[in-house]
Structure 1
Amino acid sequence: MDIEFERLENEAVRDTIRLYLERVEQLYTPIKQWLTTENLVIVSSRVSTIERQAIYKVTQLTVKTPEEETLAEIKATSSKVIVGEGLIEIEGWFGKETLVYMTDGGPQIMKPSRNDRSKQVRVQMYKGIDIDGWYWIENSRRRRMHLVDQALFLELITFVSDYEF
């Protein structure tokens, strides 16, 4: 995969960004199918993403009705986030939702054991991360994540655009 860099401060970041963009494209493929099935129009464009160590081009998807009304923009925004390994934003006039790429069960924290408070145990920060993939955080207080599938993705489009399927 050729990456169009406008700035790259650290050569080691190149592989991280390459992997992130491959994961983005792996999600974009089914998204295009799901939206086409719903008779929606997908417009692809190349936009710059600015990160601390690099500026590079990414594919952005704009979701439109057959009447050309824009419902949402799907933007690859960051190859690194605190809780995961990449971020995609879905933004419409009614709101914004984020997808995070999770691996290895997601982030873990250390906390005191229930049985022996002097011992530390490692626990997952979020529930529901069973396989590597793109997840939506339902509610940060409940710590529940959902793997993105067609039904969830269409619901997220409704959340950000108020468009009813």
Structure 2
Amino acid sequence: MVIEYIRYRIAEPERRVAFEGAYARAAGELDSAPECLAYELSHGVEEPERYILRIERTSLEGHEQGFRGGPWFPPFLASVRPFIGDIEEMKHYERTDVVSGGRGAAVRAETLAEAVGGGGIEGLRRLSNSFYDRVLSDPLLAPVFADFSRTHIEHVAVWLEEVFGGATR
């Protein structure tokens, strides 16, 4: 993953309103593009003419070849084109291991097992139990699991933990 930062300076207050509206319209293209994982537009407090757009991308190549070569780029560009001249910097960065875990910060899971299971096998057991409770109560799926053994739930939870980068058992 790479993070793209674009710094804008927009002096005129009426253009700032138009700028924010343009990105609100362009957000649909960012949401649709598989190369875009997340984004946020921040507005300067001390210097209201400053904006920073932060976009999490799958990769540099995903951005430069995938997004820019894909169907979402032309309408995205059409929305934001009037503000290209206001860009002061456009660069890509990689995250480091220095990450906040404090109040208000998004907690970054190290593995998919931690993200899905809440940090251990117990969360994955709850996930497996919930899944199979629904399967066994579904009129269409229940017959497929007629010979189902409840011990299978534990096997699925352990398998999920291993596949998602957790402990191997």
Give the structure-2-normalised TM-score.
Answer: 0.26
The structure in which a higher percent of residues are strand is 1
Q: Which has the higher contact order (CA 8 A, sep 6+)?
A: 2
Give the structure-1-normalised TM-score.
Answer: 0.26
